[in-house]
Structure 1
Amino acid sequence: MRRLGSVQQKIACVFVTEVKEGQSRKRDCQQFQVVATEKVNPVALEANIDCAIATEKLDGTCCYVTNYKGQPYLWARLDRKPNKQAEKRFKKYQYSHRSCKGFTWNVEEDFKTVPEMWIPAHRVKHHNGHPVPDEHGHIPGWVPVEMDNKQYCWHSSVVDYEVGAAIVLRPSAGNEDVLEIAAVPLVDLQEQTLELIGTNVNGNPYGLGSKKQPVHCLVSHGSVRIRNPPPVDFQQLSSWFQESPEGRVEGIVWHCNDGTLIKVHRHHLGLRWPDGKTSLGDRAVIIHVNGTVDEYDNSKDLFTPFSRLNGHCFSQLQDIQFDL
């Protein structure tokens, strides 16, 4: 199975989009909506999207595994954003021009400081040695997840740097209809991007865990395939999202043969998300977290409770619960 592309940048929509007046369905403070037209994006056609692999777009927060302190580490997504004055100037320009094209940034002065360990994401453009903001005025990047950083406590709950492993949700090798939660060596995830999903991430659309017993896990981007995806057609995609059990997903990400990533989000088609049960949350899951409780002797992470459930099967993902 070929390795699919990692997510280091904003991904283009499969349809040509346009901006419409009105409250955004996705962002509370945004007074406009980005909606899809019925015209397929030329970028998708050039990348031969009809031959691409369709995968589920997951609703969580993006992570990355790369080296830090001489070993594979989990990194959290942290975009470098403009300060208040620069943001105000950018919004004013955007409003008057109905576009951000032509806006000039002073990267040294316009942006908030980031932690010393911060690195820009791959393929971020540079000018005079400085990373250049994207069309949204952000510089995508990453910071390493340290175990004592409360801001990233849910990230740190799914990694154990002493053991060198992460809690990963993926389709079972023996039966792709069934999911498995496994302790995967971080070295096997090197240079991959993943989605952290769970109780305290993005409103928990998959119904994982509870406030009393939070459950989180990482999902490698591109690992959850969509079988029999609909053709790249506005009406057929819209019907699939609303009528197919497999369509109860946030969106689709197509991985094209040339490495191009293309997506569609339910919001692009004017559809709600979340909207009741999810395809992922309804799937059966088996726990494969081997190792002794002594090996995973860290009360802050999820390895100990998952190791106690090793071999246990749940009829649906949202049924996972730990014995207190």
Structure 2
Amino acid sequence: MELQFWEQIFDTTKIPQPARQQQPGTGMRMYPFKVLATETISGKALAADIHNAIPTEKVDGTCCYVTTYKGQPYLWARLDRRPSKQGEKKFRQFLHSLKDCKEFAWNIEEDFKPVPDTWIPAKDLEFSNGNPLPDENGHMPGWVPVEKNSKQYCWHSSVINYEAEIALVLKRHADPGLLEISPVPLSELLEQTLELIGTNINANPYGLGSKKHPVHLLVPHGAFEIKNPPTLKQNDILSWFESCSEGKVEGIVWHCHDGCLIKLHRHHLDLPWPLAETYLNSQPVVISFNRTKYECDFEPKSLFHHFSNLDGQRFDRLKDIKFDA
């Protein structure tokens, strides 16, 4: 499953906000509005048969993709091709008018920053004359390969070992209510998207690791099915987020039978995120790492080495995982 453009379950409305030129400490521009969900299920969600879709936890991390590079399975980091300063200025002025973004006309050559030669666009982008077109937010989602010992993508690199062709994955254990961390062959993850979570990703909402011993993991999209989901009514979903332990998540992603992904973020209901305690980091987890299966030696400071030393150990909560000093 390559990167897809997730649709909202509810129609949305834009609420004007006080003008802010830049989000402090990020260099990212703030849009002059916030998006809130209405009570009406969107036509796209209904067309995708949302009522029979599989609800899963939306995990807060950075999106990754596994596909072939240099003749072997490789992890790819998401890299959106973004507008240049001049292109962003034109687009921001257009957004201030609160018009439909689809009416904005881009000049691809002049309005966008260059990307590395290895960059590939997301498959679901629309193309014109062989060139990818920006989405409604003015971005062109895409991917770049994560090279071994990459400095720019060091946290991505920490969860893969190209010699053994494996990745560190967090998923459901066969036992209900238990998580599992184990190495998974990259070949088994081909053409899948995953979320990289951990100490240095998105301010670490799950409380994993520490500055001295960072912990990062890959989570396949759709890995955590919601067992007791709310009905598809805004009030029921709002109550589920606020009062249910299973609702202490960033959001919900419904996987429809036609492949469509429908999402709802807490922010669209004007609810806070992150939370002090989340459903994911409070669950028990077991480490399953049979080191004898792999012929290569893991570097002593690597996550693979640390997790292999924890083989068979169980922790009461995901965030309780600690490595020896």
Q: Return the TM-score normalized by structure 2.
A: 0.94
Q: State the 1:300 CA deviation.
A: 5.3
Alignment correspondent of 2:163:
162
Task: Give ranges in structure 1 of 5+ residues lacking alignment.
Answer: 1-5
> How big is each residue's C-alpha offset from its partner over 1:130-156, in whole Å with a ceiling of 9 and x where there is no partner?
100000000000000012321100000
Between 1:194-203 and 1:147-156, the stretch displaced more is 147-156
Q: Which structure 2 segments of 5+ residues have no match? A: 24-29
Q: How does 1:11-22 map to 2 (within 5 A)?
A: 11-22=6-17
2:311 equivalent to 1:318: no
The one-letter code matched in structure 1 to 2:247 is G
Aligned to 1:192: 192
| Structure 2: distance between partners of 1:297 and 1:206 | 26
AA at the equivalent of 2:274: P
**Distance in 1 (alpha carbons) for counterparts of 2:3 and 2:47:** 21
Aligned counterparts of 2:247 and 2:12: Cα–Cα separation in 1: 21
Are 1:152 and 2:149 matched, yes or no?
no
Q: How does 1:105-124 map to 2 (within 5 A)?
A: 105-124=106-125
Indicate if the aligned counterparts of 2:32 and 2:95 stay in contact, CA closer than 8 A.
no
Q: What is the distance in 2 between the residues matched to 1:194 and 1:208?
A: 17
Could you say what secondary structure the match of 2:137 adopts?
coil
Contact 1:177 1:283 in 2 (8 A): yes
Matched AA of 1:216: H
Q: What CA deviation, in whole Å up to 9, does each residue of 1:102-153 have, x standing for no partner?
A: 1111112211111110000111111111100000000000000012321100
Decide whether the 8 Å contact of 1:7 with 1:221 is kept in 2.
Answer: no
Letter in 2 for 1:223: A
- Cα separation, 1, equivalents of 2:235 and 2:286: 36
Q: Does 1:238 align with 2:238?
A: yes
Separation of aligned partners in 1, 2:301 and 2:147: 13
For the residues of structure 2 that align with 1:185 and 1:227, how far apart are their CA atoms?
28
8 Å CA contact retained: 1:47, 1:256: yes
Separation in 2 of the partners of 1:188 and 1:291? 18
Residue pair 1:160, 1:301 contacting (<8 A) in 2 also? no
CA 1:23–1:243: 2 relative to 1, 3 Å:
farther
Could you report, residue by residue, the CA deviation over 1:157-206 in whole angstroms, capped at 9, with x for unpaired residues? 00000000000000002x13100000000000000000000000001111
Identical counterparts, % of pairs:
55
Q: 1:45, CA displacement in angstroms?
A: 1.1
Q: Which residue in the other structure is 1:75 paired with?
A: 76
Give the distance between the partners of 1:294 and 1:161, measured in 2 at CA: 12
Contact 2:2 2:123 in 1 (8 A): no
Is the contact between residue 164 and residue 185 of structure 1 (CA under 8 Å) also seen in structure 2?
yes
Instruction: Count residues in correspondence.
Output: 316
> 3-state DSSP class of the match of 1:88?
helix
RMSD over aligned Cα atoms? 1.6
1:202 paired residue number: 202
**Offset, 1:50:** 1.2
Q: Is the 8 A contact 1:78 1:143 kept in 2?
A: yes
DSSP 3-state at the match of 1:150: coil
Distance 2:58 2:318 in 1: 17
8 Å CA contact 2:167–2:185 kept in 1: the answer is: yes
Match in the other structure for 2:138 = 137
3-state SS of paired residue (1:33): strand
Q: Which runs of 4+ in 1 moved over 2 A?
A: 27-31, 96-99, 292-301
Alignment TM-score, normalising by the size of structure 1 = 0.94
